[in-house]
Amino acid sequence: MKPIEIYTKSWCPYCHSAKELLRRKGLTFTEIDVTTDAEGQQEMIRRANGRTSVPQIFIGETHVGGCDDLYALEDAGRLDALAA
């Protein structure tokens, strides 16, 4: 399984939704909470090619994007293959 990293903020409903999907799928992930971490947020923005919203999700070297992007991958039947 490829490593999954998800940048989040504690108050973000989209972050909670994305994490719930990953948990339902039985996928383990590393959560990087940038709620009060300006340095971490800058790293996220750099890795996400300028995107500032959370969540930002990475599977292996692939930048998935946000919550809607993660659900779109699942709906297209491509999440399992990407995470494998």
CB 8 within 8 A of CB 56: no
Handedness of CA 76, 46, 2, 10 (dihedral sign): negative
Specify the pLDDT at position 17: 98
Q: Where are the chain's structural domains?
A: 4-83
Structure tokens at 80: 């399992």
Give the right CATH number for 4-83 from 3.20.20.70, 3.40.47.10, 3.40.30.10, 3.40.190.100: 3.40.30.10
Work out whether strand 56-59 and strand 62-65 pair parallel, antiparallel, or are unpaired: antiparallel
The verdict on whether omega for the bond into residue 55 sits within 30 degrees of 0, i.e. cis, is yes
**What percent of the chain is modeled with pLDDT above 90?**
99
Which residue type does 61 have?
E
Distance CA 6, CA 21 (A): 12
- pTM, 2 dp: 0.95
